Amino acid sequence: MTRSPLRLLRRAVRAWRTSLRVKVIGSTIAVALVALVLVGTVMSATIRDGIFDQRVNTLLLESSRSASIAQSTFNASTASNGTQVQQLLNDMMSALQPGGSSDHDIFLWRSLEAGPASISVNDISTAPERGSTISDRLRAAVVGGGDEQHWQSVAIPVAGGTEPGVIVGSTVEVPVAGTFELYFLYSLAPEQQTLTFIQQVLAISSVLLVGLLGAVTWLVTRQVVRPITQAASVAERLADGHLDERLEVRGHDEVATLGSSFNAMAASLQDQIEQLAALSDVQRRFVSDVSHELRTPLTTVRMASDLIYDSRATLPPALGRSAELLAMQLDRFQSLLDDLLEISRFDAGAAILDAERHDVRALVEHTVDGMTPLSELKGVPVLVDLGEREATADIDQVRVERILRNLVANAIEHADGTVVEVTVRADHRAVAVRVRDHGVGLTREQATHVFDRFWRGDPARARTTGGTGLGLSIAQEDALLHGGRLEAWGRPQHGAAFMLTLPRRAGMPLTSSPMTITGSNVEKAAAFLASVGSAPTGGSHGPATIPDLADPEEQP
């Protein structure tokens, strides 16, 4: 309950941020409201003042006439005693208020300033209960002002509140009785009503105006915003590869110009993309055709070479060695061809990820097991740390195994007889495999080039396993295909590390890695090496065992 206004506010803020239309309509209404309030205030003040001034002028004129009539009547009077004077005053009262209507009230008071009178006359008025509205200040001003009129705005108490009024005072000379103060109290209620009515009309028309303005803005922004949102959605469709998508162009206004420019841009994009696609298609077909055309003769050569190789024992030594070289180099030729085809597939965007949920730890173990012959040949122990946490992920088993094989073989080859560490770590978003050697290492500059095609680092780092120079490039492409990444790190004389990080679920973006590439359990490796040095029996991991040349055959 308490949260809902907050949520409403948040929604409003989001609407403000995300919708041009809301922004335009909102600011239009806000500005209009401020303007209308200002104008309305000024207008109603001006009207109020105008009405008031006009009314007061009329009233002053009227009261002045009434006062002068009263004065001339008094002057002409022959009253000489108290009773007569009282009668005179009473008559005057009814004369000044014809019909006895409550249009205005009249007060005829004996002036305070006048000296003691020779006769006693009562103050009279048409509404004695409102006598309190006449302030002492006004009375003083009237008495001291001679024949002049004085007036004052007052609040007249009525049932349930007050209403505005004006009181006008002057003095009259009454025969025998002396100076009297004559006050007229006029109610401004009708004027107040008029003013209230005008203000109401103003307020209502302001609200209507704001509403109308909002509606007009809505219409206008709709006309402007709709083409924009259409253009945005079409642009999105274009980006998704629907290159035939176009904007609908109507009329010749700016919006139509935007539309036709947009369409021209889309058409030119489509042309270029199609051209490029055709070009890349041609190139891909060429590479594919070349590799196909090469494969058939290669198969024949390969089979022939294998036959000769199998019977090399019966051949003279020179021919026998030739057969061996032929077979070996054919292997290399074939892997080069395979790698070239694979790279061309990546370049053409034709590589397809065949991802299924697999246990990466099992795959790492399996791969390292498969490397036993090489690790034994090189005398390089491979230490595997699979970590505590299960590490299943949506991966293409063939590709990931290829990456791992490549990294491990690479590390063994460059380890120079030191230990190779393979570490697996996982968190809830990613699985990482790090392969670390402690060999000659890489410079920072070299580490940035290891994924380049046909890149060879230190010429001293001879390739004995017949690498094609494309292995790491392919490995990186494979990692990218998974939405993962493959990183290299190295320090001269300290070794190199490669780390593969894969998202656990297909399509999950990779934000961080469960471990750092620079880490290495050096102590562990050192301790292991020490134990190996003293007793050459090796660790418990199959691939990490010290070469046992008695049984070089057969790996699982």
Partner 1 sequence: MTPMRPRILVIDDDTALAEMIGIVLRAEGFEATMCADGDQALAAFRSAQPDVVLLDVMLPGMDGTQVCRLVREESNVSIIMLTAKSDTVDVVKGLESGADDYVVKPFKPKELVARIRARLRHTQEAVAEQLTVGDLEIDVTGHRVSRGGEPISLTPLEFDLLVALARKPWQVFSREVLLERVWGYRHSADTRLVNVHVQRLRSKIEHDPENPEIVLTVRGVGYRAGVAPQP
User: Measured from the CB atom, is 32 or 404 closer to partner 1?
Assistant: 404
Tokens standing for residue 383 = 């230490």
Contact residue for partner 1 among 397, 443, 446, 465 (CB under 8 A): 397
Cβ 25 to partner 1 shortest distance, Å:
52
Q: Kindly state the DSSP code that residue 416 receives in the 8-state scheme.
A: T
Rounded to 5°, the CA angle 437-443-445 comes to 130
User: Measured from the CB atom, is 134 or 431 closer to partner 1?
Assistant: 431
Restricted to residues 172-191, the positions that interact with partner 1 (CB under 8 A) are: none
Rounded to 10 deg, the angle between the 20-76 and 82-96 helix axes is 140
- Rule CB under 8 A: is residue 356 a binding residue for partner 1? yes
**Closest to 205 in 3D by CA, of 27, 28, 49, 44:** 44
**Interface with partner 1 by CB under 8 A: which range of 117-125, 248-256, 354-362, 451-459?**
354-362
- Rule CB under 8 A: is residue 135 a binding residue for partner 1? no
User: Measured from the CB atom, is 123 or 331 closer to partner 1?
Assistant: 331
User: Measured from the CB atom, is 231 or 298 closer to partner 1?
Assistant: 298
- Rule CB under 8 A: is residue 352 a binding residue for partner 1? yes
Rounded to 5°, the CA angle 155-160-163 comes to 25
Query: Residues 325-344 vs partner 1: string with x where CB under 8 A?
Result: ---------x----------
**Closest to 298 in 3D by CA, of 326, 333, 328:** 333
| Rounded Cα gap, residues 482 and 496, in angstroms | 24
| Rounded Cα gap, residues 324 and 335, in angstroms | 17
User: Measured from the CB atom, is 354 or 553 closer to partner 1?
Assistant: 354
Restricted to residues 282-311, the positions that interact with partner 1 (CB under 8 A) are: 288, 291-292, 295-300, 302-304, 306-307
User: Measured from the CB atom, is 42 or 303 closer to partner 1?
Assistant: 303
DSSP-assigned states of every residue in 185-197: EEE-HHHHHHHHH
Q: Please state the φ and ψ torsions of residue 520, each to the nearest 5 degrees.
A: -160, 135
**Closest to 472 in 3D by CA, of 507, 448, 495:** 448
| Rounded Cα gap, residues 286 and 288, in angstroms | 5
> How many C-beta atoms surround the C-beta of residue 84 within 10 A?
16
Cβ 467 to partner 1 shortest distance, Å:
19
Cβ 470 to partner 1 shortest distance, Å:
16
User: Measured from the CB atom, is 425 or 504 closer to partner 1?
Assistant: 504
Rg (CA), the chain: 53
User: Measured from the CB atom, is 104 or 482 closer to partner 1?
Assistant: 482
Cβ 279 to partner 1 shortest distance, Å:
20
> How many C-beta atoms surround the C-beta of residue 29 within 10 A?
15
**Closest to 19 in 3D by CA, of 258, 210, 224:** 224
Q: Give the number of residues in contact with partner 1, rule: CB under 8 A.
A: 23
- Rule CB under 8 A: is residue 362 a binding residue for partner 1? no
Cβ 366 to partner 1 shortest distance, Å:
9
Tokens standing for residue 419 = 């230990």
At 438, is the secondary structure helix, strand, or coil?
coil
Contact residue for partner 1 among 11, 65, 321, 357 (CB under 8 A): 357
Cβ 431 to partner 1 shortest distance, Å:
17
- Binding residues (CB under 8 A) for partner 1: these are 288, 291-292, 295-300, 302-304, 306-307, 334, 345, 350, 352, 354, 356-357, 397-398
